[in-house]
Chain A
């Protein structure tokens, strides 16, 4: 279902992202294509390096964050809401350009702090269930949680189309699902903790090919 571009419902979001890429927005009258031209060239391989440090603000940003920074700095238009149809579509379109390329994250002096925090969160027991991410996704992957096979917890196919949601969703929405599952406090999508965790997961998935848009159960 995922590998057939027509059967993959995520391609609807990619197609929508392509339209948004060409659409001028904001006071500047610029579209994404004005600066970046063809996404198939300009955006190829970009998603393999994210989340990355933004030199301007010295903050960690993922593709969603980068799109919103671009909107603020270059298009002078308000940010898309996290998890909005538009942001999902553009993110899927940008990440789709790197499909098949291996995740390539390097940990250096700039992002080391975020990486360490992400790894701590991954290994920390949280919630009423007192479970860490690692206990399911490192120690018990491949086994069953009720009828579901426990995944290895890689984020290389996001944004995904999830059949349970009947909709596309971001990695952070999936994080919130997991937090709900272990009865932990739900963090907002786009929060600093989730970005740190996303960086750790990207490092953990290094070498795996990007699959965006993925289809998951």
Chain B
């Protein structure tokens, strides 16, 4: 699964930084029929976790109300240089991940 993570490359210690992620995913609601009238099984990203240097800073549990190709944005405080790692899993059991490096000065 493809995703784009957008964070500032560099930040000062204590600075509040935005973290954004967009994931390519159909987010199938489970309510829609296909062309033959059969129900398309629900398949959404049901849980997404973001860790900053191993510490969980954000968690989302999404349901069928979230549109396809979801985008999430949240904020965190820059503390020290390290990796921001996203991991998520959908109803079909497919897992995805993406990481971004942050350099903190000061």
Contacts and interface: CB of A to CB of B under 8 A. Distances in A.
A166 B4 contact: no
A37 interface: no
A89 to B, nearest CB: 9
Contact of A166 (B3, B6, B67, B71): B67
A13 to B, nearest CB: 8
B68 interface: yes
B2 A12 contact: yes
Contacts of A167: 26, 68
Contacts of B3: 12
B69 A12 contact: yes
A11 B2 contact: no
Given A6-B22, A16-B24, A11 B71 contact: no
A167 B27 CA distance: 11
B2 A6 contact: no
Nearest to B70: A9
B13 interface: no
B67 A12 contact: no
Nearest to B5: A6
A12 B26 contact: no
Interface size class of A (residues with CB under 8 A): 10 to 19
A122 B68 CA distance: 33
Nearest to A19: B2
Nearest to B21: A6
Question: Which of A12, A13, A16, A19 has the most C-beta atoms of chain B within 10 angstroms of its own C-beta?
Answer: A12
A208 B37 CA distance: 42
Question: Which of B3, B4, B24, B68 has the most C-beta atoms of chain A within 10 angstroms of its own C-beta?
Answer: B24
A23 interface: no
B24 A12 contact: yes
Contacts of A19: 2
B71 A7 contact: yes
A9 B52 CA distance: 25
23 contacts: A6-B6, A6-B20, A6-B22, A7-B71, A9-B69, A9-B71, A11-B4, A11-B22, A12-B2, A12-B3, A12-B22, A13-B24, A15-B2, A15-B4, A16-B2, A16-B24, A161-B69, A166-B26, A166-B67, A166-B68, A166-B69, A167-B26, A167-B68
Interface of B: 2-4, 6, 20, 22, 24, 26-27, 67-69, 71
